[in-house]
Amino acid sequence: MSQPPVIDPYIPANGNFGYRVSRYELDLEYKVAINRLAGSATITAVTLAALRTFTLDLSQALTVTKVSVNGHRPAQFRSSGSKLHIGLAEALPAGAAMAIVVRYGGSPRPIRSLWGDVGFEELTEGALVAGQPNGAASWFPCDDHPSAKASLRLRITTESPYFALANGELVSRRTRAGMTTWTYEQPEPTSTYLITLQIGDYHRHRMAKNGVAMHAVVPNRLRRNFDHDFAGQPKMMKLFTKLFGPYPLSTGYTVVVTDDALEIPLEAQGISIFGANHCDGRGSAERLIAHELAHQWFGNSVTAQRWRHIWLHEGFACYAEWLWSENSGGPSAEDWARRYHDRLAHSPQNLLLADPGARDMFDDRVYKRGALTLHVLRKRIGDDNFFALLRDWTTRYRHGTVVTDDFTGLASHYTTESLQPLFQAWLYSTELPALDSPS
């Protein structure tokens, strides 16, 4: 039996053929005490070819009870592995609109992956979603691939003591019989791994408005630590909008700190998620705060079409840490570059930055070598050209998807010299080039 075609070899079971989603509308109820999720997903899509059968990504921990397509029951639907298979009574032609409604429920759990557990996780009091790179299907049916972007409305009902946070603007909040329904609207196209849900004993407060609405969603016990540790965030926003171009979302930026410890913070569309351990009152997470904010431009708005290009997310966000340090009285980007170049020189020289392989896509060498590549490019073309290039990059590909060649091609317009030797050495060779090499 022939293997089905693969959209991205890094996540071979993810992504689906034959249609393109433009919008998700999730109407869900979550009971914290018993970890029970139930509701419906309405998916607006268009067929890319004549379609009689199609699939959606969905965890086998969730049970589908009803499906309709354009108001009609399909000929059949069945769940198998990590896919929901839907067979239509009559084929739809290419270019046809599809309104798919899936009713489902169950006890969501993370998806086991090469990179550990990803997706929907229970907390001590609440839940969080950590979707990167393939965890979205742990809690809703979707086309779970970074190049498949769609707008979102998420309506979540949960017990009233809890605060529920999702992407976008909170457009309504209604309480009835001990349950509160929160409705969020995210109009900008969003990759499924960046769609999130955060539920906990949180309180929301506004941070300084600096041209961008900024909010914090934090447990009361961590408020004092938060005010100290995250005080620099408005200045980070001011610096990054200057260096990278306008903040890409109309719905502002929110930081959530969970009451539990998290191994690493992570990004979602318009949201960054930190653990209580990152909010210790000593300012120890400042580098990470800058990194996650930078992802709103690099990764969330301008998104890798395939995971092999992840340096376009992590190298850029890592370099943003160095830029924040340089502009806020810390060591310069050059100092950081020399420090990490020395560290990489003593690490295995077997990573290809432009295609690190699935197992190594979150390896720290991707982050640091990616940042070094940008630093070397900046020194080569000069600050004015380098930051003009970054602003051009974030404008040209805003809410789009990209590959490495898009960046190297755009960079070539910002110098009269050939950049090919530089990119060949840093992106397409495993050996670490010298920091001051003429390449």
What pLDDT digit, counting tens, does each position of 216-235 carry? Answer: 999 999 999 999 999 999 99
- Domain borders along the chain are 1-106+136-170, 303-427
Spell 199-237 as b/e; 16+ CB within 10 A means b. Answer: bbbbeeeebeebebbbbbbbbeebeebbeebbeebbebb
Could you read off the pLDDT of 221-274 as tens digits, one per residue?
A: 999 999 999 999 999 999 999 999 999 999 999 999 999 999 999 999 999 999
Spell 87-110 as b/e; 16+ CB within 10 A means b. Answer: ebeeebeeeeebebbbebbbebbb
Could you read off the pLDDT of 337-383 as tens digits, one per residue?
A: 999 999 999 999 999 999 999 999 999 999 999 999 999 999 999 99
Using CA atoms of 233, 284, 364, 124 in order, give the dihedral in degrees to the nearest 10.
-90
Question: Six-digit token pair at 36?
Answer: 């029970």
Q: In this structure, are strands 401-402 and 303-304 parallel, antiparallel, or unpaired?
A: parallel
CB 21 within 8 A of CB 44: yes
CATH of 1-106+136-170, one of 3.40.50.150, 3.60.150.10, 3.40.50.300, 2.60.40.1730: 2.60.40.1730
**Closest to 272 measured CA to CA, from 150, 388, 378, 128:** 128
pLDDT for res 1: 42
Query: Is 172 buried (19+), middle (13-18) or exposed (0-12) by CB count in 10 A?
Result: exposed
Is domain 303-427 in CATH 1.10.390.10, yes or no? yes
pTM recorded for the entire structure: 0.97
Could you read off the pLDDT of 163-191 as tens digits, one per residue?
A: 999 999 999 999 999 999 999 999 999 99
Strand order across the beta sheet in which 253-257 lies: 203-206, 214-218, 253-257, 271-274, 266-268
Question: Six-digit token pair at 40?
Answer: 């419906």
